[in-house]
Structure 1
Amino acid sequence: MAHAENEITIDRTAAEVYDFLADGLNNTAWRSGVKDIGLASGDAGQLGAVYSQTLTGPRGKPIQGDYRITAAEPGRLLAFDVVAGPARPHGEYILSEADGRTTVRFVLDLKLPGLMKVLDGLVTKTMQGEVAQLRMLKAVLEAR
């Protein structure tokens, strides 16, 4: 299984961080690979909401990376499954607050089927790049 995770502490409350993450329309502000995103169905940031997003793929070509929110516990947990595109990982943002600061752990997991397992290292590297973008999330939220 391909796996990546990263953790960062942000000088904002868990409620602020959660609200920003839950609204997928904010993805373009901190995730460099997101070129376009829109709410495809459901209520923004709520359980079951589906976001349609266009990502920068290999060699700069656009790919779909639509996702559905699978868990929504304000201030604590936001989880999603990618439902369109070549890779369909499960992701979680796990939040914990202390003294008005929030630690965010971003976890991505992808079970590669059959012969695709030979790509595990490459997929893991790509996912590590994605979770590393928490640095940009911190910068964006703390600048507000």
Structure 2
Amino acid sequence: MAFADYEVVISRDAMTVYGFLMDGMNNSLWRSGIRSISLRSGLRGHKGALYQQTINGPGGRPIAADFQITEARPGAEVRFAVVAGPARPTGGYYLSTEGQTTRLRFALEYHPKGLQKLMNGMIQKTMESEVAQLEQLKTVMESRSVV
């Protein structure tokens, strides 16, 4: 099993951060390696929304990484599952209010099967890099004007 998590404190209220995270179309604003993303089904920003996403894979080749919002608790939690592609981790964003700020934790979990178990070290490093992109989310969120 591979697991990675990362935390940041964002100078925005939890509902603002939650709203940004619930809209999967915002991923390309803070995550590197996204080639394309679109809403495939469901309502944008709602539980059940399915996003078709293509990311850069090894050697820069395109890889499907479609994901679906599986759980949503306003201002507290957003969970998702990757439903297309060679690796299908599950993950979540966990929010807690700290005064005028929000503590945000991003966690990813993956259970490799078959020959993928031999690549667990590489998978672990990739997941650690992925969750560390929360620093970019913090930068994007704090540079946006509050509506």
Query: Percent identity at matched positions?
Result: 51
SS of the counterpart of 1:6? strand
* Structure 1 match to 2:55: 55
* Structure 2 match to 1:141: 141
Structure 2 distance, partners of 1:69, 1:135, is 22
* Structure 2 match to 1:20: 20
SS of the counterpart of 1:44? coil
Structure 1 distance, partners of 2:69, 2:112, is 21
Deviation at 1:120?
A: 0.9
Equivalent residues in 2 for 1:1-144, closer than 5 Å:
1-144=1-144
Structure 1 distance, partners of 2:127, 2:102, is 22
Paired letter, 1:3: F
Structure 2 distance, partners of 1:13, 1:100, is 6
Paired letter, 2:101: R
Deviation at 1:47?
A: 1.1
Structure 2 distance, partners of 1:121, 1:45, is 33
Deviation at 1:114?
A: 2.8
Structure 1 distance, partners of 2:82, 2:45, is 15
Paired letter, 2:28: T
RMSD between aligned residues: 0.7
Deviation at 1:34?
A: 1.1
Deviation at 1:55?
A: 0.4
Deviation at 1:33?
A: 1.3
Task: Point out 4+ residue stretches in structure 1 off by more than 2 angstroms.
Answer: none
Deviations 1:52-106 (A, max 9, x none): 0110111111111000111011110000000001100001000001112001100
Paired letter, 1:51: Y
Structure 2 distance, partners of 1:47, 1:28, is 19
Structure 1 distance, partners of 2:125, 2:67, is 20
Paired letter, 1:84: A
Paired letter, 2:120: D
Unpaired stretches in structure 1, ≥5 consecutive residues: none
Unpaired stretches in structure 2, ≥5 consecutive residues: none
